[in-house]
């Protein structure tokens, strides 16, 4: 698609917690993915990659012209840096495009012991002004991931005053602590958030107490609507992509290495389509924007806001009381084969599928259509009414052409809690 206004096309950067997610993200439009290795990262519970898996991921990405980055953004204590030089050299030799680092010790080791491997500064380093970006540029870094606390006004000023590549978060979970540098998990669960062990203590349910001086404390749970005291909503900048693109951001970062392939495929698909539309014209973007927003609400996530881009978050950007919006779709399968002669799709099931279910097929390039489950058969070719076993291969007839890799959602999950301005809520069936 031609860009008649000569705007720079930003990279859509998606998370990939496993090799499967890496492939899905790239197939669904990601220009690059970021992964974690077996060491030096901040997601110890994600499906981190072995060197062999990294090599396979790099080869897969090359077929699509995509890039693979590795996050090595932990804060090192004495001894943690041992072996880092060999680690970075292996990443370079495998063909990893760049490594994302926050600790100056690891940056120095990488620069000295793995020359030729580009370094990107992690958001953990809290870069919030152009002087900071210039400092890291002079030290040889190629790109800076901005702190999530940077406003749109500050972003514009930064871009005017430095030519180093800028990466900015546009979608996903927001950390309650400044740039993710938190010790709450250390104290609550003895898991170091800055060395890959965050237990997300901020999202736990907390009791509240009335503690008059000299008297015994008294729980006031039930007297106030709060059950979470520190849990932030997620970020979504899909409606504000024009501001991000016009201010020269080089890479649009999506959070979520521990998210599902349903989430990764959907969000990568949406942001790729949004970028394409805006580069075509502002009118094309405005026309498709409602569909992009609707699509994002088909995956499980928290409520959405714009983070710090347009002012400091208020209590409206915290999770409390009744949920104001809940996704109403469930991921149920993916297409592994299609016979156009019989219009039969072979599907790998992920959740329960029943005859008569309203389902939606979607694929790369923002392709969609809705239908109903018909002529459902198990692996033995037997007609069935219900398929309850995950990862079973099924067949079903479909009214339109589908492709291997297309995903399937089921519509109509559960209830919607509608938050009211007076603090009450009402519940309606989906």
- Which pair of tokens denotes residue 176? 């309650």
pLDDT at 191 > cutoff 80: no
Burial of 333 (0-12, 13-18, 19+ CB in 10 A): buried
pLDDT interval class at 32 (50, 70, 90): very high
How is the chain split into domains, by residue range? 11-174+232-313, 180-219, 329-413
Strand partners, 14: 33
**Per-residue pLDDT at 39 exceeds 70:** yes
Residue 223 clears pLDDT 90, i.e. is over it: no
Longest dimension (CA), the chain: 81
In this predicted model, which residue has the larger pLDDT, 186 or 355?
Answer: 355
Mean pLDDT of 93-110: 96
pLDDT of residue 231: 81
Burial of 1 (0-12, 13-18, 19+ CB in 10 A): exposed
Q: Which of the pair, 182 or 420, is modelled with greater confidence? A: 182
User: Cα angle vertex 257, ends 253, 262, to 5°?
Assistant: 95
Let me know: does 54 contact 35? Beta carbons within 8 Å: yes
Q: Find the DSSP H helices in 102-237.
A: 104-113, 130-138, 152-161, 184-189
Structure confidence at residue 422 as a pLDDT band (50, 70, 90): very low
Residue linked to tokens 């970062």: 253
Mean pLDDT of 358-376: 96
Global confidence as pTM: 0.87
Residue indicated by tokens 């012209």: 65
Note whether 137 and 109 are within 8 A (CB). Answer: no
Give, in words, the CATH class of 11-174+232-313.
alpha beta
Average pLDDT over residues 162-173: 95
- Residue 30: φ, ψ to 5°: -65, 135
The topology under which CATH files domain 329-413 is Elongation Factor Tu (Ef-tu); domain 3 (2.40.30)
Pairing of strands 304-305, 251-254: unpaired
Q: Tens digit of pLDDT for each residue in 251-277? A: 999 998 889 999 999 999 999 999 999
pLDDT surpasses 60 at 127: yes
Say how far apart CA 231 and CA 240 lie, in whole Å.
23
Q: Grade residue 195 by pLDDT with cuts at 50, 70 and 90.
A: low
| Percent of the chain that is helix, strand, coil (3-state, to 5) | 30, 25, 45
């Amino acid at each position: 698609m031609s860009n008649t206004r000569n705007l720079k096309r930003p990279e859509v950067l998606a998370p990939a917690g496993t090799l499967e997610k890496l492939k899905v993200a790239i197939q669904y439009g990601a220009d690059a993915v970021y992964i974690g290795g077996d060491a030096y990262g901040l997601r110890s519970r994600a499906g981190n990659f072995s060197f062999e898996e990294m090599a396979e991921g790099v080869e897969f990405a090359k077929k699509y012209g995509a890039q693979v980055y590795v996050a090595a953004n932990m804060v090192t204590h004495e001894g943690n840096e041992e072996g880092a030089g060999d680690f970075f050299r292996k990443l370079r030799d495998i063909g990893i495009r760049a490594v994302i680092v926050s600790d100056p010790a690891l940056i120095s080791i990488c620069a000295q012991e793995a020359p030729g491997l580009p370094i990107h500064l992690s958001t953990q380093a809290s870069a919030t002004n152009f002087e900071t970006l210039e400092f890291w540029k002079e030290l040889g870094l190629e790109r800076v991931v901005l702190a999530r606390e940077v406003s749109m006004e500050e972003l514009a000023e930064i871009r005017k005053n430095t030519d180093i590549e800028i990466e900015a978060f546009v979608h996903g979970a927001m950390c309650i602590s400044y740039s993710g540098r938190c010790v709450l998990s250390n104290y609550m669960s003895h898991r170091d958030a800055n060395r890959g062990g965050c237990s997300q203590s901020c999202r736990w349910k907390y009791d509240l107490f009335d503690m008059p001086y000299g008297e015994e404390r008294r729980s006031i749970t039930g007297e106030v609507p709060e059950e979470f005291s520190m849990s932030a909503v997620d970020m979504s900048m899909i409606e504000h992509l024009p501001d991000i693109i016009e201010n020269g951001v080089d890479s649009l970062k999506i959070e979520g290495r521990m998210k599902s392939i349903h989430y990764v495929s959907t969000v990568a698909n949406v942001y790729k389509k949004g970028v394409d539309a805006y580069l075509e014209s502002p009118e094309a973007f405005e026309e498709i924007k409602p569909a992009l927003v609707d699509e994002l609400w088909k995956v499980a996530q928290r409520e959405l806001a714009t983070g710090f881009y347009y002012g400091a978050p208020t209590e409206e950007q915290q999770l409390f009381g009744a949920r104001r919006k809940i996704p109403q779709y469930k991921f149920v399968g993916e297409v592994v084969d299609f016979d156009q002669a019989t219009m039969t799709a072979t599907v790998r099931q992920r959740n329960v599928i029943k005859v008569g279910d309203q389902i939606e097929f979607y694929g790369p390039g923002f392709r969609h259509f809705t239908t109903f489950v018909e002529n459902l058969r198990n692996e033995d070719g037997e007609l069935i009414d219900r398929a309850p076993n995950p990862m079973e291969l099924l067949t079903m007839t479909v009214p339109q052409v589908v492709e291997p890799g297309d995903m399937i959602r089921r519509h109509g999950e559960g209830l919607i809690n509608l938050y009211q301005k007076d603090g009450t809520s009402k519940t309606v069936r989906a």
